[in-house]
Amino acid sequence: METEEIDKNKIAADIFAEFFEVALHCILYTRRLYPAGVFERRKKYNIPVQICFHPEVSQYVANVVDSVKQLMEQKEMEKVVVVVFNKQLQPVERYIFEVVSPGKKNSEDRFLYQLEQALRAFLLKLNVCDSLLSSLPEDNTWTVQVHTKNSAAERLHDYQIVQDFPWVLADSSETELPTPTLIPLKAVDSDLIKMQLYVEESGFKTGHS
Amino acid sequence: MAVDDLYLENIDEYINDENKIVTYKWLSLTLKVHVNIAKQMLYTFVKTQRENKEIDHLTVTYFVAGVSKNDTGEMLFKCGVVPEENLSQYKCSLSVITSCHVYSVQKVKLKDSNALYITDYDVMKDNIFEFSKYSSIQNPRAEIRSEDDMELLAMQMEETDSKPERETKTTNRDSAPPSRVAAPKEKPKGAIANMFANAQKIKDAKPERKDAKPELKQENKPSEKTTKPAGKKQGGMMSFFAKQTDKSEKTDHANKEVKKNKESTSSVKEQKTDHDSKEVKKKEESPPKMKEKTTDHTRKEVKKKEELPAKRKELSPPRKTSRKTERVESDDEDSSKKKRRRIKQDLFDSSSEEEEEEVEIEEDSPVPSPVKEPSPIPESPSPEAAVVDEEDEKEEKEEQIITRTSSKERGEKVMTGEKRRVRRKKQVKKTFMDKDGFLVTEKVWESESTDASEVEEPVKKPPVPAKPSSPQKKPSPKKKGSPSKGGGTTQTSLMSFFKKK
């Protein structure tokens, strides 16, 4: 039974890591964090997705996803947040992927078709989230934050030394949004992955520091 | 009209409340209406929304199709999905507009067509068979194939694509159950399978001809290859040797006169097995018959510790003869066939050579005596003894056989491809005085290499010293595949095998 659990954990972590990478690229594209020219159309879950092929960006994303996967495998991760900062380095938007451990559903999704469908819906929603959010100001920067436990952070520290990709502790100014509004996007609940995606946006979006 | 109102409300919900992208396709399938009605509904919706509200928060894309003239004066029929902003511009580019209707309506400003595709994907998948019901593009004669039809089609596809694999399957099935497992796995090896497909076809075409040595070689080669990559080493080796049986049968048959090797006993046995195997040719032979020839070789690996040294011996001499025969024949064949044959030859030759040579190597590195002791026929002439020892060792490690074979093949290939290297290992009896004053006679292998190239020797050596424990008489579990044991040798030899192609 334990090995079963561990296997499921690993699979879930793999799936989430794949999905998160694609979602991250999708956010970069949809919110115009990078010009559309650096994106290339690729296929994932049988739908076209835009992936950035700038080497440094893709390398950074790959590293981030790798660390996230590590945490996910140990079930230590509460949520992953993609934060968009404005020129003054204040967070204006946060895309929160909240992950909880799935319950024992035992539904008949052996080949994960339903899960794939759900992830497709996630990506579709990310594509159209523009209409729900107010537009971003110019000159943004972005980062990824992970909410986890202290012990896991220590473990990650050891891992990241090997990977040469250190994570630093974020301070509250970077994590908190002033006057946030919450916009839920999508949720999925399968027996492998249970997560929801919502967006917090700050009231100060339009260039006002 | 009341119906339309309801539908319009639905659309309103979808677009405004749920923030969906509504394409006409999606709408028609969701509401189960004809596409034209869906298009009209969308159009009406957009019109009313724009009339009622001042702020236009809807974005609309249109599908436009028409004829246009390009620079060279050719008439082109173009169709495209364009956002509203570009609509007039696109229309101007067409000289004749055949159709223009609303494609989708949504609140969000679309950056590209990805979202449109995603929107339709799932709903299309769910209604894949009913889609034409609501579409104007229909073919009344188009019917969904029944299950039986699909099966037939699938079988036809398989036949054309993987005919050789099938043949191999059938032949393997007869040879041994394990090969059956190997055969299905051959299919995924597309490239290799196709390569052998041709050879296999030829083989199937002339199954009974003894003269069809080249074909046999070819078929043997593909079958070997197809079976080999098939991961199930036992089965693969079975078919490998099964095919070898056919091949060696013929070659041995022909080469009996040609080749008189040191193995008198073995040659006698060879002939017997040759005869037997000849009857068998197609590997439809029953396992006992298979035993007689190359099957012996296979069986050695398949059946743990069952291989008799005699069989081994039989194998090696036939191989040698076969090699010679094959070489002779190769001159007469086409270049393409030649190539294959050569490889086959190499395979066979190398396997036989390897057996001998590797035995020697193995004997050198570990303690010779324990190796020799278990051999049931210690008194047989040196090559046989070598074979015996080989066999003993091989009993302990099946993979090594494969390893040797593969490295041998490599060696062989190198040989045929480049220069002819004649490697002979002689077992020489050396008598010396040991520390206690006893006169000890030991058989020691000395390798003589004319035209020596160092490639093969060192390669073989490393795997031998790398497995010092294997020659011991411990009943080490025979592993099915060679990869683990063969280690570098197997891998490299196999790879070189393919490279030679």
| B421 in any annotated domain | yes
| B113 in any annotated domain | yes
B342 with B433, same domain?
A: yes
Q: Which of A111, A128, A133, A135 to mutate to test the interface with B (most CBs of B within 10 A)?
A: A128
Nearest to B117 among A48, A128, A131 (CB): A48
| A43 in any annotated domain | yes
B253 with B343, same domain?
A: yes
B192/B182 Cα distance (integer angstroms):
14
The chain A residue lying nearest B21, using CA atoms, is A128
CA distances from residue B330 to B206, B218, B307, B335 in whole angstroms, order as listed: 18, 11, 31, 8
Amino acid identity, position A70: Q
B233 with B377, same domain?
A: yes
B339 with B388, same domain?
A: yes
Burial (CB count <10 Å: 0-12, 13-18, 19+), residue B422:
exposed
The CA radius of gyration of chain A, in Å to the nearest whole number, is 17
CB-CB under 8 Å, B114 with A127: yes
| A71 in any annotated domain | yes
Q: Show the CA angle centred on residue A195, arms to residues A165 and A80, nearest 5°.
A: 25
B182 with B259, same domain?
A: yes
Chain A residue numbers touching B115 (CB-CB < 8 A): 124, 127-128
B277/B285 Cα distance (integer angstroms):
8
| A208 in any annotated domain | no
Residues 114-133 of B with CB under 8 A from A: 114-115, 117-119, 121-122
Pair A179, A204: CB distance under 8 Å: yes
The chain B residue lying nearest A118, using CA atoms, is B122
**pLDDT: which is higher, A14 or B375:** A14
A196/B1 Cα distance (integer angstroms):
41
Chain B: closest CA distance from residue A46 (Å): 9
B333 with B449, same domain?
A: yes
Pair B442, B427: CB distance under 8 Å: no
What's A198's domain CATH number?
Answer: 3.30.900.10
| B87 in any annotated domain | yes
Question: Last residue of a domain, which of B113, B134, B155?
Answer: B134
Count of residues in chain A = 209
- How many domains in chain B? 2
CA distances from residue B467 to B124, B370, B460, B490, B495 in whole angstroms, order as listed: 59, 15, 11, 13, 21
pTM: predicted TM-score of the whole model, two decimal places:
0.51
Residues 53-82 of A with CB under 8 A from B: none
Pair B227, B172: CB distance under 8 Å: yes
pLDDT tens per residue across span A25-57:
988 988 888 888 899 998 888 888 899 989 999
Chain A: closest CA distance from residue B57 (Å): 9
| B200 in any annotated domain | yes
Pair B477, B470: CB distance under 8 Å: no
What's B11's domain CATH number?
Answer: 3.90.1030.20
B11's tokens: 């659309």
B184 with B124, same domain?
A: no
Tell me: ipTM over 0.90: no
Q: Show the CA angle centred on residue A17, arms to residues A13 and A22, nearest 5°.
A: 155
CA distances from residue A129 to A91, B108, B492 in whole angstroms, order as listed: 18, 8, 53
CB-CB under 8 Å, A131 with B109: yes
Q: Is A6 on the interface with B (CB under 8 A)?
A: no
B387 with B341, same domain?
A: yes
B259/B319 Cα distance (integer angstroms):
10
B391's tokens: 């066999």
B7 with B128, same domain?
A: yes
CB-CB under 8 Å, A117 with B122: yes
CB-CB under 8 Å, B108 with A47: no
| A62 in any annotated domain | yes
pLDDT for position B106: 87
B142/B146 Cα distance (integer angstroms):
12
* Chain-centroid distance, C-alpha B228: 8
| B343 in any annotated domain | yes
Domain containing B301 equals 165-500
- Please report, to the nearest 10 degrees, the dihedral formed by the alpha carbons of residues B283, B288, B292, B298 taken in order: 70
| B148 in any annotated domain | no
Domain containing A157 equals 2-202
What's the DSSP call for residue B55? Answer: S
- How many domains in chain A? 1
**What would the DSSP string read from start to end of B10-49?**
HHHIIIIIS---EEHHHHHHHHT--HHHHHHHHHHHHHHH
B236 with B111, same domain?
A: no
Pair B132, B138: CB distance under 8 Å: yes
Closest to B388 (Cα-Cα) out of B399, B403, B402, B372 = B372
Burial (CB count <10 Å: 0-12, 13-18, 19+), residue B92:
exposed
Q: Spell out the per-residue pLDDT of chain B, length 501, in tens.
A: 456 788 888 888 888 888 888 888 888 888 888 888 888 888 888 888 888 876 678 888 999 988 888 778 788 888 888 888 888 888 888 888 888 989 988 888 888 888 888 888 888 888 877 777 777 777 778 777 788 888 888 888 888 876 665 555 555 444 444 444 444 444 444 445 455 555 555 554 444 444 444 444 444 444 444 444 444 444 445 545 544 444 444 444 444 444 444 444 444 444 444 444 444 444 444 444 444 444 444 444 444 444 444 444 444 444 444 444 444 444 444 444 444 444 444 445 444 444 444 444 444 444 444 444 444 444 444 444 444 444 444 444 444 444 444 444 444 444 444 445 556 666 677 777 777 778 877 777 765 555 544 444 444 444 444 444 444 444 444 444 344 444 444 455 666 667 655
Pair A47, B118: CB distance under 8 Å: yes
B152/B62 Cα distance (integer angstroms):
42
B487/B467 Cα distance (integer angstroms):
10
B334 with B449, same domain?
A: yes
B110 with B173, same domain?
A: no
A118/A103 Cα distance (integer angstroms):
17
